[in-house]
Amino acid sequence: MSAVRRSLSHRVFATVFAVAMVVVAVFSLAGTAYVQSRLVSLAHEELDSQADVVRAALDSMPDDKFILRNLELGNTRITLIDTDGTVLYDTEAEADTMPNHASRPEVASAFANGRGDAERASTTLGEVMLYEAVLLENGTVVRLAQEQAGYLSILVGMLPPLAVLVALCAIVSLVAARRESRAIIEPLLEVDLDHPVRNVENAYTEMVPMLERIETQRQELKRQVRVLADNDRMRREFTANITHELKTPLTAISGYAELISSGMVSDEADQRDFAHRIFNEAGRLTALVNDILTLSNLDEAERDEAGSSSDSVLGTREPVDLPRTLDTVYHRLETVADVNGVTLSVKPQRAIVLGVPRLLDELVYNLASNAIRYNKPDGSVTMRCGMEDGAPFISVEDTGIGIAPEEQEKVFERFYRVDKSRSKERGGTGLGLAIVKHAAVFHDATISVDSALGEGTTITVRFPAGDQELGELF
């Protein structure tokens, strides 16, 4: 079912018309009440003076009935009542058919005080009968009565002009609604939604928050478009880089394999050498594929907001004992350090992080492996962990070649290497620090690089302070 679209013009019409109707109703009701009370009081005055005239006439002549029969007082009814309340004469009915009038308030009051008046509702339309009675010199009472239009009958009488007024109001409201809604809409239509803040000065005050919100959303949209464009560019670069990085070892492998299979390498020592090269290149390929997979999982975990929950594609978050992680990495890299002539040492202090063990292991491994590979002969690498200002940290310090200040941010980009040939020669994939960066982000940790060319590098990863409470679990 489609929603009924509301029109502004309709709403304005309904409001204007309703206001007009309320005004018409209030004025009609109040006006009718006023007119009716004015008519009643005028009729009272008229009856009053007519009563004086009738009394003067009756008191001055002996034959009351004769005078009354010949009196012309418009629509005023006259009744002559004897001292005991019996009706002696009535201008509109047979006197002997009428009941005793002694108890009528106006008559009783006239007998008692010489004059009396009363007012009684007569019909359903609210007509009222007005009475004025006066005592005559001979002890009888003459009563004058007049019917006066009631509240309802006046109102009913006003209906035709009221209907015309309502119709007129409807027409005026319609025209006013059309004009008003057009006038209201005009400033809204003039708003340039591409530059909403420019319109703030000319807009209605009520529109300002909306215009400001549109502007904020516009800016946010622009920012998101930029981020999307950046992401797209990075994705395309990454794909191009991966293809290139995968191709290099594959070309080497197929080249060596072709040489061997064509029988061109007959010498057994050469064959072994080529097989060894194939083995090395395959190893590089495996390392590369593993790093790409880890990064892709990290990307997925970041996109999918489960990254902040306990489960993700990378594994389950659990309390990880950092000294134990450092120890594992130490044992894996001990020989590599030896081969490179570098002294590897661990200085662990109690620290626990809520994280994914495999990722934290990879983070430490990549930092330590770089520290060994980009070191100098007889250099040293120290892995540390502990608590600093209530927050767990891991740091890897080396006495290696160092990273120039302008390179310190770039080295965390995918496939960025300061010295490409040295990286390849040392078995690097160009993805180690990118994995470190994303693994840190995944754990809400920050990374800081402290490095000087030719002197060495210290990379520190600081975890959020909340994790210290985990220490109490152990």
**Token pair 């290139």 in the structure block, residue:** 244
Nearer to ligand ADP, 142 or 435 (CB): 435
Instruction: Specify whether the CB–CB gap between 281 and 252 falls below 8 A.
Output: yes
Structure tokens at 22: 């309320």
Nearer to ligand ADP, 9 or 458 (CB): 458
**Pairing outcome for strands 343-348 and 380-388:** parallel
Strands (DSSP E) contained in 82-140 are 87-90, 115-121, 128-135
Determine the interface stretch with ligand ADP among 45-53, 68-76, 264-272, 410-418 (rule: CB under 6 A).
410-418
**440 lies in the site for ligand ADP, by CB under 6 A:** no
Q: Least CB distance from residue 205 to ligand ADP, whole Å?
A: 56
Burial 389-411 (b: 16+ CB within 10 A, else e): eebbbbbbbbbbbbbeeeebeeb
- Distance of alpha carbon 54 from alpha carbon 59, whole angstroms: 8
**430 lies in the site for ligand ADP, by CB under 6 A:** yes
Angle among Cα 116, 117, 120 to the nearest 5 degrees reads: 145
**419 lies in the site for ligand ADP, by CB under 6 A:** yes
Instruction: Specify whether the CB–CB gap between 193 and 25 falls below 8 A.
Output: no
**Token pair 């309904």 in the structure block, residue:** 14
Question: Which DSSP state fits 123?
Answer: S
Q: Least CB distance from residue 453 to ligand ADP, whole Å?
A: 9
**401 lies in the site for ligand ADP, by CB under 6 A:** yes
**428 lies in the site for ligand ADP, by CB under 6 A:** yes
Determine the interface stretch with ligand ADP among 27-35, 238-246, 306-314, 428-436 (rule: CB under 6 A).
428-436
**307 lies in the site for ligand ADP, by CB under 6 A:** no
**400 lies in the site for ligand ADP, by CB under 6 A:** yes
Burial 122-136 (b: 16+ CB within 10 A, else e): eeeebbbebbbbbbb
**Token pair 């013009």 in the structure block, residue:** 9
Q: Least CB distance from residue 202 to ligand ADP, whole Å?
A: 55
Burial 166-204 (b: 16+ CB within 10 A, else e): eeebeeebeebbeebbeeeeeeeeebeeeebeebeeebe
Alpha helices in 61-150 (DSSP H): 64-70, 105-113
Q: Is 140 helix (H, G, I), strand (E, B) or coil?
A: coil
**173 lies in the site for ligand ADP, by CB under 6 A:** no
Task: Map residues 84-123 to x or -, x wherever contact with ligand ADP holds by CB under 6 A.
Answer: ----------------------------------------
Q: Which amino acid is residue 218, in one-letter code?
A: R
Structure tokens at 364: 């430490």
**337 lies in the site for ligand ADP, by CB under 6 A:** no
Q: Least CB distance from residue 349 to ligand ADP, whole Å?
A: 22
Determine the interface stretch with ligand ADP among 152-160, 173-181, 212-220, 423-431 (rule: CB under 6 A).
423-431
**432 lies in the site for ligand ADP, by CB under 6 A:** yes
Determine the interface stretch with ligand ADP among 225-233, 260-268, 334-342, 409-417 (rule: CB under 6 A).
409-417
Nearer to ligand ADP, 71 or 287 (CB): 287
Footprint of ligand ADP on residues 360-399 (CB under 6 A)? 366, 370-371, 374, 398
Q: Least CB distance from residue 248 to ligand ADP, whole Å?
A: 13
Nearer to ligand ADP, 145 or 368 (CB): 368
**344 lies in the site for ligand ADP, by CB under 6 A:** no
Which residues here bind ligand ADP, judged by CB under 6 A?
A: 366, 370-371, 374, 398, 400-403, 411, 416-419, 423, 428-434, 457
